[in-house]
Chains A and B, each alone.
Chain A
């Protein structure tokens, strides 16, 4: 998203922040960790890739889904997790059987992870560069 100019503005911002006080240095480090959303999506995909492929219906296995736990039998997203899991195990046909939106969903999530980590990288580079100027 950021072109060269955007980077300069970001960079100026970081410099300003650093100049405004040395007290918040430790705070900046913690903020410079990983964004919450990125963490969630990556963790979700890793967990889906690691778990054993579920064969059963939604009704009779343990589920995190708040809707299923509330007792709803059906929701438009039901089976998407299993679909993604199959997909990450390389079983495309079963994935399509579970939920047709599995492949687009994986693409959307990967794109979101990509753009979030790009932002993260830009931010980190700026913070690293900033050390030379303080």
Chain B
């Protein structure tokens, strides 16, 4: 487990690790490197999400925009983060917000890797 290239991803949780491992079963070395390059660029570090959530007190909805939830982002933006209540919820919930986004990004990067390597 500690030799795995996934451990180089900052702030990775066991949950995300096992998700990545099962998603990339049967990948060749080259495919894995390609996948990591794409995914590393796309993913959001949960530790950074906390900071974005705190920043959300000044720019409401920032955390929602960053995880591609445009509708919720606009709702937060126009209502001062549902009068700060929504922002506090995000602050509590930051890990699952990041993991939810990362799961989608795993799927997107998988598709990109498969498109890039036609064999």
- A-side residues, CB < 8 A to B, are 1-2, 5-6, 9, 12-13, 16-17, 35-37, 40, 64-68, 75-78, 80, 101, 104-105, 107-109, 111-112, 119
CB–CB B75/A105 < 8 A: yes
**Alpha-carbon distance A6/B100, docked complex (angstroms):** 13
Check A101–B79 contact: CB distance below 8 A. Answer: yes
Number of chain B residues whose Cβ lies closer than 8 Å to a Cβ of chain A: 29
Q: Are B85 and A65 in contact (CB under 8 A)?
A: yes
CB-CB nearest in chain A for B25: A12
B80 interface neighbour in A16, A35, A36, A75, Cβ under 8 Å: A75
Q: Is the CB of A40 within 8 A of B89?
A: yes
Q: Known contacts A105-B75, A112-B71; is A37 also within 8 Å of B96 by CB?
A: yes
Instruction: Decide if B78 touches A37 in the complex (CB within 8 Å).
Output: no
Interface residues of B, Cβ cutoff 8 Å to A: 18-19, 21-23, 25, 69, 71-72, 74-75, 78-85, 89, 92-93, 96-97, 100, 104, 106-107, 110
Contact of B84 among A66, A101, A104 (CB under 8 A): A66
In the bound complex, do residue B74 and residue A77 qualify as a contact, i.e. CB atoms below 8 Å apart? Answer: no
**Pairwise interchain contact B79-A67, C-beta atoms closer than 8 A:** no
User: Chain A's nearest CB lies how many Å from the CB of B36?
Assistant: 16
Bound together, the chains give a CA A17 to CA B89 distance in angstroms of 29
| CB atoms of A104 and B107 under 8 A apart | no
Chain B residues lying within 8 Å of A65, measured Cβ to Cβ, are 83-85
State which of A9, A37, A40, A68 has its C-beta within 8 Å of the C-beta of B23. Answer: A9
Q: Which residues of B contact A77 (CB under 8 A)?
A: 78-83
In the bound assembly, the distance between CA atoms of A80 and B25 in angstroms comes to: 48
Asked if residues B80 and A37 are in contact (CB atoms below 8 Å), the reply is no
Instruction: Report whether A67 and B84 are in contact in the complex, using a CB–CB cutoff of 8 Å.
Output: yes
**Residue contacts A-B, CB under 8 angstroms, 16 given:** A6-B107, A9-B107, A12-B25, A16-B18, A16-B21, A35-B96, A37-B89, A37-B93, A37-B96, A66-B85, A67-B80, A75-B79, A75-B80, A77-B78, A77-B83, A111-B71
